[in-house]
Chain A
């Protein structure tokens, strides 16, 4: 029977394809089995004559890889890396090829819509009905004009996630300034990796993500970050990996620190499975060894006046005996903290072996150039500021800051000015209105909230719900789904029930389920959009998305939605946006900056930018060589910089040095001590502090980003789903990694359905025994548990960690402590 079915199926196939092929293939009358008839209508390989290639930038992580989009017959069918793009160099990560699936996602919104069901909730159908763009924009503009007339413009907030460039997120600041709201716009950085940015700011005064010169480094010490899973720019990281591990002589040594065995740890020379939240203790012990054994970079750090090392474990040192060069507070730090932070001490904190800590410290201290890097794993805890400072200080101790093979900070592109200046269009309300006295809804920069943070998005839902400092009225989202990604999602759902919600994503989402109006964006292959590089090699670079196809549906680029809304605001604000006109006009003006400063690839205009997709100049302006700073003089890093110049550009601290004793924290010592109970005499140093773990459970829960986490859409892309957790997962399943010892103690069989719970609630999923995960920790990728993300995402297990993650943040950095809630696990 099976064979017969097959033959019948094949007959249908041959008939159909024969018809497509045209002339004289199969007559194929009813009941005729065509058998082994030859079919030949092979077509030529891509790119055929009618295949076009457009330049674009991948949208699925922050990295911004240049991509070539192949379109034939109006359909996008292939994506490859752009060969002459400095990040992608013709290559892709596993997410790169997914772009066509995103473009043709059958769950996309087809045009603007408004809600007809006033009730909101997970079980409520919004009852969306299509409306015209004019009606949609007028509806939102009326609301914004009304708030302004009632002198309540501060009650409008705009939240954004992955802002790309000057033609989208770059427009938001002026919108807020002209409209009059401190809450336009609020970025997501506190739910991302502000713990890294701000702990760096505390010591070097810059506060940004670093650029890294991996290719010239001989040792990498990585705390969390997932270098071979998620750390941006992932594609380029892997290119570098192939070079430093396969080609470069000497091979770069790598030690990776994490809570489970992932591909990064597996590929490294040394894998350290550390207790969550204790990375700072390891960094302190490494620093201790570097000082005791005299391994610090004396040309950068300084030395004892007589050259005799007085760093003896447990003994204080006379600060006057040490002459500091580019660091400040080294000996005070030793006396206050480091003298007692031996590897043996760190064993109890980190659970690592003393021999491994010692070996890591010696290798890091003796292998130059060396880089210590860290992201959310290390600092998403209540002690994150200290963990980050301690790790970043390792870079200072070995002299890697701004050095070849070390780390630096990203420089921006040579953009031209916008066609009009927003300051010329401020009306009275914008200039001096009552909104100026209002705090931000997230209490960022406020003594009652998070005085020293950059953003506090995770507080917006809970704050508005409680009316502290006030209730919002209208909230708009751009590439942001905080109602799902924030911890304690229930509070957000309650908050959004009270607000008029504007969603701009092209895709269904949990936010959309609470939205009153949907203003859908183009997907990235349909957009004209600029995107300066995320921190990469430091030198300036900016890219362009060029539409590969006309928008499939009645969608509008978010930047243009914003401009169209602006045009509808009464008074001079509307005039500003009339003058700005549209995003293409904005981008053409940005590109004018290239006329006087052409890129290395000859890009000097809007047209050439569109053709090449990228403008860049491969020169970083600064370099530290043997403890002196030099500026590029046009040919070489040869112009010696003065201490004042270094303070102005490279160490923006009060002292102009790398402040191990942080002047910035010290200036706020009273506030910090009052809010955290910390000792005012020690809180400015990288110190060890036990993290606080809420949740009420006995196991840590860590939910890393994996390689196929296609930002915002991975959960609804079948190809991504099938390959989401290669290390342990099934083709259709993501498992919760559990150490067999931990599982057996709780009577949980391998592969069984389990329930993970905290004080906030419970989620379910399937577990898998894994010897590579710490016995005190559960690990699963942050991906699934969506309830309104599309047909493939719906109901997919395991449930979302956010449902059981307590909203706790580092009081200094504002970093949302995603990896610090403790949970329980049991058989479901």
Chain B
């Protein structure tokens, strides 16, 4: 059985956020509630300033702290594929997982909408969910946190489970440039124009993701937590970078 993982090459990531908007489209995300975010930082003094960014999906950890804290076992590690998913039928919206997640990639969206006016009032749901946009996709699987987010539950990146889980068995990588595989590739990976993202089977000895991790010193974010992410970053010191915070100046006039 595959253990799916993602490799993000920070040397070629352009910070464009196509991953963010493709995910929003594919997963009917509310505006600004980005399962797949890109975080921007800057430091230094004019004219020598560093601007950098970090694309951040759910890490689909091998040892996820969100799973161990969930009181209803709503959030779980799928042994088939290694996805970390949420069963919306079990989730009680206590948000313990949000606190436990070291990466900030879980979303409770019943509060005030990020962008006003609230789009949920424009496309209200008749099914008791948060909204019902005309562009919602056909996939709908609440046991895995897929589809329109209901009220009172937490949601998160599913690694596009609805696509990836349908992939032919035994493939080492899901590469969008291979026409017969593109429909199984997570949205954020599929659209990535500079090809800064790769998706494949971390347990497959021949997978490109393993090769990249090995050859380009793949690193995991906050490895010290012991969560063991299945998302790896490659960084050779280009502008997109894992944030290394220098002292932050708190300038006030």
Chain A interfacial positions (CB closer than 8 Å to B): 3, 5-7, 9-10, 12-17, 20, 36-48, 51, 72-73, 75-81, 83, 90-98, 100-101, 103-104, 106, 228, 234-236, 238-239, 241-243, 245-246, 261-263, 265-267, 273, 707-708, 718-723, 726-728, 731-732, 739-741, 743-744, 747-750, 752, 769-775, 791-792
With a cutoff of 8 Å between Cβ atoms, the chain A residues found around residue B153 in the complex are 10
With a cutoff of 8 Å between Cβ atoms, the chain A residues found around residue B106 in the complex are none
Partner of A727, one of B21, B42, B46: B42
Q: A10-B151, A238-B193, A242-B194 are in contact. Are A46 and B251 (CB under 8 A)?
A: no
Give Cα A77 to B25, complex, Å. Answer: 7
In the assembled complex, how far is the CB of residue A103 from the closest CB belonging to chain B, in whole angstroms? 8
B203 within 8 A of A: no
Q: Are A6 and B166 in contact (CB under 8 A)?
A: no
Give Cα A91 to B253, complex, Å. Answer: 44
Q: Are A97 and B25 in contact (CB under 8 A)?
A: yes
With a cutoff of 8 Å between Cβ atoms, the chain A residues found around residue B69 in the complex are none
With a cutoff of 8 Å between Cβ atoms, the chain A residues found around residue B79 in the complex are none
With a cutoff of 8 Å between Cβ atoms, the chain A residues found around residue B126 in the complex are 16
Q: Are B115 and A90 in contact (CB under 8 A)?
A: no
Task: Look across to chain A and name the residue whose beta carbon is closest to the beta carbon of B137.
Answer: A77
29-49 of chain B: CB within 8 A of chain A? 29, 31-32, 34, 38, 40, 42-47, 49
Q: Which of B7-15, B58-66, B223-231 contacts A (4 or more CB under 8 A)?
A: B7-15
| 20 further interface pairs, Cβ-Cβ under 8 Å (given A83-B177, A720-B21) | A15-B128, A16-B126, A17-B142, A38-B89, A45-B139, A45-B162, A45-B163, A73-B138, A77-B25, A91-B18, A96-B21, A96-B22, A106-B123, A242-B14, A245-B12, A267-B15, A267-B239, A707-B17, A732-B114, A792-B115
In the assembled complex, how far is the CB of residue B3 from the closest CB belonging to chain A, in whole angstroms? 20
Partner of B21, one of A17, A95, A791: A95
With a cutoff of 8 Å between Cβ atoms, the chain B residues found around residue A46 in the complex are 137-139, 162-163, 183
Q: A263-B15, A267-B14, A771-B45 are in contact. Are A722 and B142 (CB under 8 A)?
A: no
Partner of B115, one of A51, A103, A722: A722
Give Cα A42 to B147, complex, Å. Answer: 10
Give Cα A51 to B139, complex, Å. Answer: 12
B246 within 8 A of A: no
Give Cα A75 to B72, complex, Å. Answer: 36
With a cutoff of 8 Å between Cβ atoms, the chain B residues found around residue A228 in the complex are 14-16
Give Cα A95 to B21, complex, Å. Answer: 8
Q: Are B193 and A43 in contact (CB under 8 A)?
A: no
Can you report 8 residue pairs joining A to B where beta carbons are below 8 Å apart?
A40-B143, A48-B138, A91-B193, A104-B135, A728-B42, A739-B46, A750-B251, A750-B252
Q: Are B127 and A100 in contact (CB under 8 A)?
A: no
With a cutoff of 8 Å between Cβ atoms, the chain B residues found around residue A263 in the complex are 14-16, 51, 53, 239
In the assembled complex, how far is the CB of residue B250 from the closest CB belonging to chain A, in whole angstroms? 9
Task: Look across to chain A and name the residue whose beta carbon is closest to the beta carbon of B91.
Answer: A10
With a cutoff of 8 Å between Cβ atoms, the chain B residues found around residue A245 in the complex are 11-12, 194, 238
Task: Look across to chain A and name the residue whose beta carbon is closest to the beta carbon of B93.
Answer: A6
Q: Are B150 and A10 in contact (CB under 8 A)?
A: yes
Give Cα A285 to B134, complex, Å. Answer: 56
Interface size class of B (residues with CB under 8 A): 35 or more
With a cutoff of 8 Å between Cβ atoms, the chain B residues found around residue A14 in the complex are 89, 128
Q: Are A718 and B31 in contact (CB under 8 A)?
A: yes
In the assembled complex, how far is the CB of residue B233 from the closest CB belonging to chain A, in whole angstroms? 14
Residue of A94, A748, A749 with highest tally of chain B CB at under 10 A: A94
In the assembled complex, how far is the CB of residue A144 from the closest CB belonging to chain B, in whole angstroms? 37
Q: A80-B190, A266-B50 are in contact. Are A721 and B115 (CB under 8 A)?
A: yes
Please give me the 5 A-B residue pairs with the lowest Cβ-Cβ distance, nearest first.
Answer: A242-B194, A722-B32, A718-B31, A238-B193, A6-B152
Q: Are B117 and A791 in contact (CB under 8 A)?
A: yes
With a cutoff of 8 Å between Cβ atoms, the chain B residues found around residue A39 in the complex are 89, 142-143
Partner of B42, one of A93, A261, A774: A261
In the assembled complex, how far is the CB of residue A241 from the closest CB belonging to chain B, in whole angstroms? 5
Q: Are B151 and A44 in contact (CB under 8 A)?
A: no
Q: Are B92 and A7 in contact (CB under 8 A)?
A: yes
Q: A36-B89, A94-B18, A238-B16 are in contact. Are A76 and B193 (CB under 8 A)?
A: no
Q: A238-B16, A241-B194 are in contact. Are A44 and B9 (CB under 8 A)?
A: no
- Quick one: CB contact mask for B73-113 with A, threshold 8 Å, 1 for yes? 00000000000000001101110000000000000000000
